[in-house]
């Protein structure tokens, strides 16, 4: 019975997780789905035809499946579209989506204006998104605080083992059969601490979603480079004779290796982020320019060409120039969008372009539709800017804790060594040798931990691991510089040879 209960519990757990993920995906895409319904309704498209058009929108995968199901039940099973929407509202586990469908059905049946309802619902959803954004930042703040507490606990463990290694207390405790040995310090530095960091990284991964699509190429190259560097570092770690032939020590080799592993992916991600963040900043202005051009009577194609000639779009201008040349050569707008979406990785930019092209191709009252799109594109962009601004302090915090871990460990190590020289001069030489070995090992552990922390910071700040490569390189270098400076400065104060 116990085994059966455990199995059933696991099944319910998996179902609960899948349901939660489905709800999250629905509510992530819902504001843009409501936007599409609003734009299409303003252009005179019926609700059911809006569902049919949504089947072609690959950038909304969850609602694309939803649209497929709605159309299937109407055209294959012969059901009424409103009945199908009512049934879908009863089945969904998203309260926001259920409320939207319920109000949508009521508006249609009562003969009200669908545009007025969808605009009102869109305003409400964006207000809810603003509140959800604030709550998500608070959750991330809690996660960062928990991560900081974990680092403090591990730092205390570092200090404990440094004290043991720098005196003969280790041998005394070993004779008393207490579970303290040099092996434990290796487990803390290279097993426990990285595993704990990975757990926090997974938690951050569930909280923060990337705004960039398709970074697989970046991750694949980074995995190859990291695996090669890792293999080289393991060889140096397990072959002392090879290490002795090098003019630098293991901490220096590890720092160089980890920074080198992150450098190329960081450069590639910087180029991607620079263009795409610039595109996110520019797309509201671009949509606004197209809207204003439409108001003065220009054709859709001329409106787009006119908007692409603006000079202050930065790196995004490269894509707009390509778009302008394709339009001038007579390439259809939908094909132009398809070509652009293959080069731009920002989901926000892709969605806005898709809605703009859809609105222009439908015609009808496209000026009013584009005005709606421009207004809410600006609001969504403002939300994203606020989110990044609220998360910036945690990036600074990462550099602070990287430096503090390195400096604190060095201070405790040298202070403990000086205490052994006061107690017994016969222990000072042995303590110094033990301290050197432990500090080298812990220096490597600290540098590795700071490197891993970079991916945690990248995930909470920008929502993807690509951003983590630049932070991991910087944090590893920060930890190494802090170690070297603190060791030389304090060793000079104590009048001993630097470690």
pLDDT per position as a tens digit, 268-318: 899 888 888 888 888 888 888 888 887 777 777 788 888 888 777 778 888
**Domain end call among 93, 112, 131:** 112
Give pLDDT, residue 432. Answer: 58
Asked whether residue 64 is domain-assigned, the answer is: yes
Asked whether residue 123 is domain-assigned, the answer is: no
Do 102 and 156 lie in one domain? The reply is: no
**Domain end call among 65, 95, 112:** 112
Structure tokens at 257: 């290796």
Asked whether residue 407 is domain-assigned, the answer is: yes
What Rg do the C-alpha atoms of the chain give, in angstroms? 29
Contact 452, 472 (CB under 8 A): yes
DSSP calls for 212-226? B---HHHHHHHHHHH
Do 160 and 265 lie in one domain? The reply is: yes
State which residues of the chain have pLDDT below 70.
1-21, 158-159, 161-185, 362-366, 413-414, 416-438, 491-499
Position of tokens 């680092």? 151
Q: How many helices (H) and strands (E) does the chain have?
A: 19, 0
For 260, the domain range is 139-277+382-494
CA 491 – CA 432 distance, rounded (Å): 12
Give pLDDT, residue 174. Answer: 45
Contact 451, 475 (CB under 8 A): yes
Give pLDDT, residue 472. Answer: 92
Do 104 and 223 lie in one domain? The reply is: no
pTM: 0.77
Contact 100, 121 (CB under 8 A): yes
First-to-last alpha carbon distance for the chain, in angstroms, is 60
Dump strand ranges (E) for 21-96. Answer: none
Asked whether residue 477 is domain-assigned, the answer is: yes
Give pLDDT, residue 492. Answer: 63
Do 78 and 170 lie in one domain? The reply is: no
Asked whether residue 419 is domain-assigned, the answer is: yes
Asked whether residue 78 is domain-assigned, the answer is: yes
CA 204 – CA 476 distance, rounded (Å): 20
CA 26 – CA 7 distance, rounded (Å): 29
Do 175 and 102 lie in one domain? The reply is: no
Domain count, the chain: 2
Where do runs of H (alpha helix) occur along 76-215? 81-91, 95-109, 114-166, 169-175, 182-187, 193-207
Do 170 and 238 lie in one domain? The reply is: yes
Do 65 and 203 lie in one domain? The reply is: no
CA 372 – CA 368 distance, rounded (Å): 6
Give pLDDT, residue 167. Answer: 52
Asked whether residue 172 is domain-assigned, the answer is: yes
Asked whether residue 218 is domain-assigned, the answer is: yes
Contact 439, 411 (CB under 8 A): no
Do 267 and 391 lie in one domain? The reply is: yes
**Domain end call among 61, 94, 112:** 112
Contact 236, 253 (CB under 8 A): yes
């Amino acid at each position: 019975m116990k085994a059966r209960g455990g199995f059933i519990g696991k099944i319910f757990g998996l179902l609960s997780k899948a349901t939660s993920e489905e709800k999250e995906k629905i509510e992530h895409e819902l504001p843009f789905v409501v936007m599409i319904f609003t734009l299409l309704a303003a252009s005179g498209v019926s609700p059911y035809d809006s569902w049919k058009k949504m089947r072609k929108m690959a950038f909304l995968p969850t609602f694309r499946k939803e649209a497929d199901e709605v159309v299937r039940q109407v055209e294959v099973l012969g059901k009424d579209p409103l009945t199908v929407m009512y049934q879908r509202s009863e089945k969904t586990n998203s309260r926001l989506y259920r409320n939207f469908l319920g109000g949508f059905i009521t508006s249609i049946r009562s003969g009200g204006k669908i545009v007025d309802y969808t605009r009102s619902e869109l305003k409400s959803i964006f207000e809810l998104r603003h509140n959800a954004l604030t709550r998500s930042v608070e959750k991330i703040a809690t996660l960062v605080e928990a991560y900081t507490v974990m680092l403090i606990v591990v730092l205390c463990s570092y200090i404990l083992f440094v004290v043991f290694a720098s005196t003969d207390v280790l041998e005394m405790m070993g004779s008393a059969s207490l579970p303290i040995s040099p092996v434990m310090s290796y487990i803390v530095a290279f097993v426990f601490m990285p595993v704990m960091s990975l757990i926090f990284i997974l938690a951050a991964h569930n909280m923060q979603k990337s705004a960039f699509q398709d970074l697989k190429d970046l991750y694949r190259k980074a995995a190859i480079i990291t695996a090669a560097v890792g293999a080289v570092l393991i060889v140096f770690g397990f072959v002392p004779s090879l290490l002795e032939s090098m003019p630098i020590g293991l901490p220096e080799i590890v720092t160089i290796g980890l920074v080198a592993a992150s450098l190329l992916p960081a450069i590639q991600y910087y180029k991607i982020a620079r263009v795409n963040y610039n595109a996110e900043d520019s797309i509201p202005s671009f949509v606004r320019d197209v809207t204003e051009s439409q108001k003065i009577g220009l054709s859709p194609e001329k409106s787009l060409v006119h908007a692409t000639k603006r000079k202050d779009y930065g790196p995004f201008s490269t894509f707009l120039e390509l778009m302008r040349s394709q339009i001038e050569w007579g390439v259809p707008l939908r094909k132009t969008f398809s070509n652009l979406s293959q080069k731009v990785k920002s989901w926000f930019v892709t969605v806005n372009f898709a809605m703009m092209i859809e609105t222009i191709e439908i015609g009808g009252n496209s000026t009013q539709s584009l005005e709606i799109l421009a207004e809410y594109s600006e609001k969504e962009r403002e939300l994203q800017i606020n989110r990044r601004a609220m998360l910036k302090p945690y990036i600074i915090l990462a550099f602070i804790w990287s430096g503090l871990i390195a400096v604190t460990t060095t201070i405790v190590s040298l202070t403990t060594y000086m205490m052994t020289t006061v107690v017994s001069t016969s222990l000072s030489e042995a303590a110094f040798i033990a301290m050197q070995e432990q500090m080298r090992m812990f220096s490597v552990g600290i540098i590795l931990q700071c490197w891993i922390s970079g991916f945690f910071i990248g995930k909470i700040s920008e929502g993807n691991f690509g951003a983590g490569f630049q932070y991991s390189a910087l944090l590893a270098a920060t930890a190494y510089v802090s170690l070297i400076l603190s060791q030389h400065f304090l060793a000079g104060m104590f009048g001993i040879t630097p470690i």
